[in-house]
């Protein structure tokens, strides 16, 4: 079975470098997909209150019989729950749905710049962390001004920023800032939701290495040092996406993949995404 490496967060907790994402996995499909992922060797699961499948993730975790300490579970605070008290309430609700008594990583899902209250939410996250209810706290979709504001106004540096990142949107500036500040970069939509798997350079490298296009893209992430959380409900793809620890891409092949950068997003722009 695949051996997934770990990355140290800024508080000595470690996160598996590859996990399983469950965005757009229907509640009725979630338990089966998560059990399939656990069977394939995944130990890190990424969900969110907004995905409306936390309870089904919890069902899969409890029925798996796996030791809690072997798992790394992430969920996220939804935009409408931002604010100090509402963050504390939302955390309790998510934890209850997941059937857990602590969380490994809790993230502010989006900065929601129009409301501008992510500092209040972050203070609540700091309390949850201080109270030992979550092992690490972080953010998602934060751009430089949002990160700088947190760093200026609050005590704890986010352990993670989970952002859209793939070869078409490599996020060099954010990754540099993360590296300078001890923030781990976690890539969402690491496969650009499948959109770049037909690109000529990706299929050529797949042929060269005897791997699938998805495996080539995931390997690019791992070699950049990103944490990745690919999603699939197809058992063969779930297995394929974790089977990426037995090869490495050559420098010039990594550079050839870098050429795919065209700034394309598959998701919303955090500067203007204010849905609540």
Contact set with ligand NAD (CB under 6 A): 21-23, 46, 109, 140-141, 162, 188-194, 197, 212, 214, 229-232, 237, 240-241, 267
Compute the distance between CA of residue 159 and CA of residue 126 in angstroms, rounded to an integer: 12
Residues 6+ apart with CB under 8 A from 78: 48, 49, 50, 90, 109
The smaller minimum CB distance to ligand NAD, of residues 177 and 188, is found at 188
The smaller minimum CB distance to ligand NAD, of residues 251 and 273, is found at 273
Rounded to the nearest 10 degrees, the angle between the axes of helix 144-153 and helix 172-181 is 20
Which token pair is 220? 């690019």
In the complex, the smallest distance separating the C-beta of residue 231 from ligand NAD, rounded to whole angstroms, is 3
In the complex, the smallest distance separating the C-beta of residue 120 from ligand NAD, rounded to whole angstroms, is 20
- How many other CB atoms sit within 10 Å of the CB of residue 143? 18
Compute the distance between CA of residue 204 and CA of residue 214 in angstroms, rounded to an integer: 12
The smaller minimum CB distance to ligand NAD, of residues 95 and 160, is found at 160
Annotation marks residue 51 as catalytic: yes
In the complex, the smallest distance separating the C-beta of residue 264 from ligand NAD, rounded to whole angstroms, is 13
The smaller minimum CB distance to ligand NAD, of residues 135 and 211, is found at 211
Are 61 and 29 a contacting pair, CB within 8 Å?
no
- How many other CB atoms sit within 10 Å of the CB of residue 221? 25
State the residue for tokens 């700091």.
126
In the complex, the smallest distance separating the C-beta of residue 119 from ligand NAD, rounded to whole angstroms, is 19
In the complex, the smallest distance separating the C-beta of residue 87 from ligand NAD, rounded to whole angstroms, is 16
The smaller minimum CB distance to ligand NAD, of residues 16 and 131, is found at 16
- How many other CB atoms sit within 10 Å of the CB of residue 12? 8
Q: Which listed residue (23, 42, 51, 209) is catalytic?
A: 51
According to DSSP, the residues that pair with 77 across neighbouring strands are 108
Q: What is the set of active-site residues?
A: 51
């Amino acid at each position: 079975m695949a051996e997934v490496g770990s990355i140290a967060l800024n508080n000595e907790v470690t996160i598996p470098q590859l996990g399983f994402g469950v965005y757009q996995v229907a509640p009725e499909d979630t338990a089966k997909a998560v059990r399939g992922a656990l069977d394939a060797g995944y130990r890190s699961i990424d969900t969110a209150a907004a995905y409306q499948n936390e309870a089904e993730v919890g069902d899969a975790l409890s029925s798996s019989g796996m030791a809690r300490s072997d798992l790394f579970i992430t969920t996220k605070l939804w935009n409408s729950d931002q604010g100090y008290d509402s963050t504390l309430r939302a955390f309790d609700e998510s934890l209850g749905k997941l059937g857990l008594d602590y969380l490994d990583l809790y993230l502010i899902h989006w900065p929601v710049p129009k409301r501008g209250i992510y500092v209040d939410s972050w203070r609540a996250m700091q309390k949850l962390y201080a109270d030992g209810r979550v092992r690490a706290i972080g953010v998602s979709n934060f751009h430089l001004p949002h990160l700088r504001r947190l760093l200026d106004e609050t005590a704890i540096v986010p352990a993670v920023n989970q952002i859209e990142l793939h070869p078409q949107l490599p996020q060099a500036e954010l990754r540099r800032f993360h590296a300078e500040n001890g923030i781990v970069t976690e890539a969402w939509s690491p496969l650009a939701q499948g959109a770049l798997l037909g690109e000529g350079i990706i299929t050529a490298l797949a042929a060269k290495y005897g791997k699938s296009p998805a495996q080539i893209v995931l390997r690019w992430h791992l070699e950049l040092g990103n944490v990745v959380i690919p999603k699939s409900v197809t058992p063969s793809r779930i297995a394929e996406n974790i089977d990426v620890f037995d090869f490495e891409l050559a420098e010039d092949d990594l550079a050839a993949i870098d050429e795919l950068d065209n700034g394309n997003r598959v998701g919303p722009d955090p500067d203007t995404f204010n849905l609540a």
